[in-house]
Amino acid sequence: MKYIALCLIFITLFGISYAKQPDNAKIKQYIYLAENYISIGELDRAYKCLQDAENLAMDKKWLAFIYERMGEIEEKKEHYTDALLYYGRSLILAKNSQYKELENIINKKIFDIQSKNPNLLSR
């Protein structure tokens, strides 16, 4: 089910033809592998896959998505400061690239972290 949701996000953000481009195949493989690791709680392995995807990604679309996923991993690890840094990177790329859906997702995640940790910003 999570795989289907991820595919729908890709199609929404990038379009079907973009996601099918051969240059993006390796990046997609790393992201799918990361999603599988996240689903079984292997967060360090997922993070490594996303780092590999980040090293290959040149497009702001991919980087925005990758940073959002890295932020989620850090949030799951309760590393909220790091999560906010990744969400911030993703948000900047999403805003600059006019990815409104991803921008809305990230804004909600940032709000949730700040709501749960009101003292986080005063550190």
Place 119 in a pLDDT band, splitting at 50, 70 and 90.
confident
Residue 36 to residue 102: CA distance in whole angstroms: 21
Residue 63 to residue 89: CA distance in whole angstroms: 9
Residue 104 to residue 37: CA distance in whole angstroms: 25
Task: Answer whether residue 28 shows pLDDT above 80.
Answer: yes
What value, to the nearest 5°, has the Cα angle with vertex 65 and ends 64 and 70?
100
> How many distinct structural domains can be found in the chain?
1
Chain segment 36-63, per-residue pLDDT in tens: 999 999 999 999 999 999 999 988 889 9
CB 61 within 8 A of CB 36: no
Range of the domain at 18: 2-122
pTM comes to 0.76
CATH, residue 47? 1.25.40.10
Q: Which residue has the tokens 């996303």?
A: 50
Place 27 in a pLDDT band, splitting at 50, 70 and 90.
very high
